[in-house]
Amino acid sequence: MNVHQVYPEQYDAQLGTKQQRITTLFSDLLPNQCELEVFSSPTTHYRQRAEFKIWHENNTAHYAMYQRGEYKRPFIINDFPVASQVITETMPHLLEAINHNEVLKRKLFQVEFLSTLSGEVLITMIYHKPLDDQWQTQAELLQTHLRDTLCCSLKDTVKEVGKETAQNTAHHHVVTHLDIIGRSRKQKRCLGRDYVMETFSLNNGSFQYQQPEGAFTQPNANVCEHMLDWAVSASKAFSGDLLELYCGIGNFTLPLASNFRHVLATEISKTSVAAALENLKTNHVNNVKIVRMSSEEFSQAMDGVRQFRRLEGIDLNDYRFSTVFVDPPRAGLDDHTVSITQKFDRILYVSCNPETLKANLNTICQTHRIERFALFDQFPYTDHIECGVSLVKK
């Protein structure tokens, strides 16, 4: 996508092209009775994350992005309609304040935003200089200024349209919480929390998530809710225990746990594991254990190839695994993990890369058949496609 080009009127046609691509790519694996389920995105303000380079010109800082392969030619960003309403409302206020403060502006080279459906926003300012106490003092003043400025939006809305209407619009348009983090080489200064709290409202309940700065979270929150509902629905009739690989902060873990007796989940990132444990506690989910291991390591443990200290206190023989859930990175599953998934009666596979998904399913479908297949449009106006597949052993 060209960083300036967003055409909502073309969205349906672009989504149709993606649908045709998936139908064609998986035509040899999809049973005739399996209809592709398609979940669309809002056409604007759908990204809860955004990051921008800071381009300095004539002593003025600008938000900028680069086309792939053209890293010396910045595109100045004055409007970014794909970002959440919370981010787009915050951006101009932040930039104006930066340009009026040499301490905050000097050596600033990147700004990252993380926001939520409930109106929280976390701003990370990244520098090519050490961050000293003078920077922190100015950044704290900036944080206070942004909180005061952006919170006025709700007050003004109350005056104009009344309290009840204002509360209804606040979900999408008003900043409810704002924090700033400063980063430079081997340095991190938090002026408040280093995470946001997201709430997803699903068919089987409402779930709260601590989403830390730097941890992976689904960027399109509205589509993420569709993905979670779909996964819960697809596994509703399952039983026994669930093994989840690549659990992250527990995005799928929390809602899926209600469909199973016990869940054992793996994740390699310390930050994500800490957030996942906190999210289990916050949501009173008591039938899940998380181990900090890669999927490859856990596969070796299941096969008895290696023993791991991180599995001390967990007896894999106590589990009656019927289902495995995988949400791997773009590279897909390695061959050994694919062979492990084939031992399960049921497989739930969420993929961010149709090509590696197809390669994995070419093997998996030797032992399993596809029951449900979904397309989730996380990234409108791009070629990116997210898929969900539910399979059962033949």
pLDDT at position 294: 79
Question: Between 162 and 249, where is the model more confident?
Answer: 249
Evaluate whether 260 touches 344 at the Cβ level (below 8 Å).
Answer: no
**Among candidates 18, 51, 26, 48, which has minimal Cα distance to 380?**
18
Q: What secondary structure, in 3-state letters, does 41-98 show?
A: CCCCCCECEEEEEEEEECCEEEEEEECCCCCCCEEECCCCCCECHHHHHHHHHHHHHH
Evaluate whether 273 touches 267 at the Cβ level (below 8 Å).
Answer: yes
Cβ partners under 8 Å of residue 284, min gap 6: none
Residue 161 confidence (pLDDT) above 80: no
pLDDT at position 136: 97
pLDDT at position 71: 66
CA-to-CA distance for 261 and 253, rounded, in angstroms? 13
- Tell me the CB-side half-sphere exposure of residue 267, using CA atoms within 13 A: 23
Cβ partners under 8 Å of residue 181, min gap 6: 122, 123, 124, 125, 188, 189, 190, 191, 194, 213
Least confident of 60-69, 102-111, 203-212: 60-69
- Tell me the CB-side half-sphere exposure of residue 69, using CA atoms within 13 A: 1
pLDDT single digits (tens) 265-305:
999 999 999 999 999 999 999 999 999 887 778 777 776 66
What does the pLDDT average to over 142-151? 92
pLDDT band at 166 (very low <50, low <70, confident <90, very high): very low
Residue 251 confidence (pLDDT) above 60: yes
CATH architecture of 49-198: Beta Barrel (2.40)
Share of the chain above pLDDT 70, in %: 91
pLDDT at position 165: 44
Residue 159 confidence (pLDDT) above 80: no
Cβ partners under 8 Å of residue 38, min gap 6: 15, 19, 374, 375, 377
Burial per residue of 227-266, b for 16 or more beta-carbon CB atoms within 10 angstroms, e otherwise: bbbbbbbbbeebebbbbbbbbbbbbbbbbbbebbebbbbb
CATH code: domain 8-43+220-393 is 3.40.50.150
CA-to-CA distance for 5 and 2, rounded, in angstroms? 5
CA-to-CA distance for 125 and 110, rounded, in angstroms? 6
Least confident of 12-26, 211-225, 308-322, 365-379: 308-322
pLDDT at position 170: 39
CA-to-CA distance for 283 and 256, rounded, in angstroms? 13
The residues that bridge with 288 in the sheet, in sequence order, are 263
Residue 160 confidence (pLDDT) above 60: no
List every span in the chain annotated with CATH 2.40.50.1070.
49-198
Computed over every residue of the chain, the mean pLDDT equals: 90
Evaluate whether 180 touches 90 at the Cβ level (below 8 Å).
Answer: no
pLDDT at position 152: 55
List every span in the chain annotated with CATH 3.40.50.150.
8-43+220-393
pLDDT single digits (tens) 206-250:
999 999 999 999 999 999 999 999 999 999 999 899 999 989 999
Evaluate whether 231 touches 388 at the Cβ level (below 8 Å).
Answer: yes
CA-to-CA distance for 273 and 281, rounded, in angstroms? 12
Evaluate whether 79 touches 96 at the Cβ level (below 8 Å).
Answer: no
pLDDT at position 67: 75
pLDDT band at 315 (very low <50, low <70, confident <90, very high): confident
pLDDT at position 197: 97
pLDDT at position 173: 53
pLDDT band at 32 (very low <50, low <70, confident <90, very high): confident
Collapsed DSSP state (helix, strand, coil) of residue 317: helix
What does the pLDDT average to over 321-337? 92
pLDDT band at 6 (very low <50, low <70, confident <90, very high): confident
pLDDT band at 33 (very low <50, low <70, confident <90, very high): confident
What does the pLDDT average to over 158-171? 44
pLDDT at position 155: 45
Binding-site positions for S-adenosyl-L-methionine: 218, 246, 251, 267, 327
Catalytic positions, written as ranges: 352, 386
Burial of 313 (0-12, 13-18, 19+ CB in 10 A): exposed
What does the pLDDT average to over 196-207? 95
